[in-house]
Chains A and B, each alone.
Chain A
Amino acid sequence: DIQMTQSPPSLSASVGDRVTITCRASQSISGKLNWYQQKPGKAPNLLIFLASTLQNGVPSRFSGSGSGTDFTLTISTLQPEDFGTYYCQQSYIPPLTFGGGTKVDIK
């Protein structure tokens, strides 16, 4: 199985801050990396697919980058509604696997 490792596990930031979350795969996944946001008690929501393509309706302050084994999710200007837990997920080969999550709190 491909292991996905996210860092940090949690962070606290202020409105307006730039936030970066990293995700590392245990082997190359050819850019097949997705990012999701999950709010408490809700299903996850797809933010970015294929490492850098923004899903329809997702604000442009979210962006993704990376290749090979290392990927990044960036929130350019943190907004109050961006709290929640963020997960990366590889769609390169089954079993599809998720990172452990990064919990984002607003200071």
Chain B
Amino acid sequence: QVQLQESGPGLVRPSETLSLTCTVSGDSMNNYYWTWIRQPPGKGLEWIGYVYHSGSTSYNPSLKSRVTISLDTSKNQFSLKLSSVTAADTAVYYCVRDQEGAYGMDVWGQGTTVSVSS
């Protein structure tokens, strides 16, 4: 059974870079879109972007200038970097497996809370 686990700092200073890693266990990383989703406190879900197993990426235009998502298949991990953070980036961050063929996001990590504060 595939599982995803986020890891990274829970507190980031304003203007610094948020860095999270997602470790994938129980399956290979082939043929999926490895995705980051975030949810600000009390609000809805926002798609940040994905890295495909080939290494190609797609980002939300609202964050594109600040986001990098990368893949390390040798470690079965993918990562998120979000630069120049502000309080508006405070959220629960989920790593997610999104299936080819628009079959939906079928596996989610438990989520990790990241607060941006000095």
Contacts and interface: CB of A to CB of B under 8 A. Distances in A.
Interface size of A as a range: 20 to 34
6 contacts: A45-B108, A46-B104, A89-B104, A94-B60, A95-B59, A96-B98
Contact of A36 (B102, B105, B110): B105
Interface stretch (B24-32, B42-50, B76-84): B42-50
B106 A95 contact: no
B69 to A, nearest CB: 12
A82 to B, nearest CB: 19
Given A1-B61, A95-B60, A44 B45 contact: yes
Interface string B61-78: 110000000000000000
Contacts of B49: 94-95
B19 interface: no
B102 A100 contact: no
Interface size of B as a range: 20 to 34
B40 interface: no
A85 B33 CA distance: 24
A73 to B, nearest CB: 13
A50 interface: yes
Name the prevailing secondary structure of the A interface residues.
loop
A20 B102 CA distance: 23
Interface in A39-67: 42-46, 48-50, 53, 55
Interface of B: 44-47, 49, 58-62, 94, 98-99, 102-106, 108-111
Contacts of B110: 42-43
A92 interface: yes
Contact of A46 (B59, B94, B105): B105
A32 B45 CA distance: 18
Given A95-B61, A98-B44, A43 B111 contact: yes
A88 B60 CA distance: 18
